A = this chain, B = another copy of it.
Amino acid sequence: MTESPSRRALLGWGGAGLALGAVAAGSAVAVSDSGGDDHEPSTAVEFHGTHQAGIATPVQDRLHFAAFDVTTTERAEFVRLLKDWTEAARRMAAGRPVGEGAFGGLAEAPPDDTGEALGLKPSRLTLTIGFGPSLFAKFGLAGQRPEALIDLPQFPGEALDLARSNGDLCVQACADDPQVAVHAIRNLARIGFGKVVVRWSQLGFGKTSSTTPDAQTPRNLMGFKDGTRNIAGTETDRLEKFVWASEQDGPAWMAGGSYLVARRIRMHIETWDRTSLQEQEDVFGRDKGEGAPVGKANEHDEPFLKAMKPDAHVRLAHPDSNGGSTILRRGYSFTDGTDGLGRLDAGLFFLAYQRDVRDGFVRIQRHLATDALNEYIQHVGSAVFAVPPGVRDADDWWGRALFEGK
């Protein structure tokens, strides 16, 4: 593994006078060589591939997620933006600044890159784009909307804030350094000025679902391990079966893509914190310390669902209770200050990838209508996106198959 150079070394800003071109070109190769499976938090994840990075990629520590609305009505302008975004994403994922980096001679222009990630490592940054249902009402795309990209039905108990829901587009930025993730979204928003506008965004920390089987399962803000039986990024069979859309699923432009459901789930943590340990463990169907299913000793022991209360979360969410349905979860905890009533505005920003939203999130969430956990949580934001396949090479760009059919 070659450790990539720092972002700072690649930049000739402010007359520092580096021979930039040669350095940057060589580094990009080194970065590409390091691959995406390495857990070293400073490395780069390969941007190109059959699938977009940021789905099966081992979960990074931090998230900045943004939903955008498209404001331009010009198809060509929007396509130009997708190409510009792709190029910027390609550079940032490699730990390089946006633009050519030689700013010394262009003092009269705004910098191509906002600069706050200079000197920081690539930090396993991944940028993953998705297209929302409303996008397909624009640019003559109606006929291309996948059947699987449904408008989500209403679920009991939810109280969705439209200001934190939906969007024509989304970009999920994940990195081990929050400043790298924030920098990436901010630069995409900057590049999109006049063409798209940020509709809502969400910062997340402390990944709650591990896609790395050997790593310790992280805990959510209820203090329970979350993601014990999640689909691992290395489980090719389950990924093919449950996560990646195939050519047969249609439309053709989505082959190798996936569908993302994002839900902002507020936790009533002050109520939860005054609930007995027994009740907490009954609600989940696992013990709090080890994470073992009811009646079992270890976290990874096979759950015996009938030993759990009928409304236990693990019992209701288990694939055996949902005709085998399962989803790849990639959620993050959030804490967004207080709610004006002295309570922390905290919870889980739930991100789930699946081959078909109807067989995945919708089916499971319907079954969770009687979940004992519902007393302690509320879904307050919601969005769904078609996540196109990966950018194959340096000539490819986000959404090319959708717009050009190839």
Contact = CB atoms under 8 A, between A and B. Distances in A.
A49 interface: no
Interface residues of A, number: 73
A14 interface: yes
A182 to B, nearest CB: 5
A72 interface: no
B13 A189 contact: no
B14 A118 contact: no
Contact of A116 (B114, B163, B221, B277): B221
State the number of copies, please: 2
Contact of A203 (B221, B278, B335): B335
Which of A117, A287, A344 has most B Cβ within 10 Å?
A344
Given A16-B289, A186-B269, A336-B337, 10 more contacts: A11-B289, A103-B288, A108-B276, A110-B277, A163-B340, A164-B337, A198-B338, A201-B338, A201-B344, A203-B335
Contact of A219 (B106, B116, B205, B338): B116
A342 interface: yes
B276 A107 contact: yes
A346 interface: yes
Contact of A14 (B103, B117, B269, B290): B290
B13 A289 contact: yes
B344 A186 contact: yes
B333 A179 contact: yes
A234 interface: no
A242 interface: no
A177 B205 CA distance: 9
Given A111-B277, A270-B193, A277-B110, A216 B289 contact: no
A117 B201 CA distance: 26
Contacts of A278: 107-108
Contacts of A338: 198-201
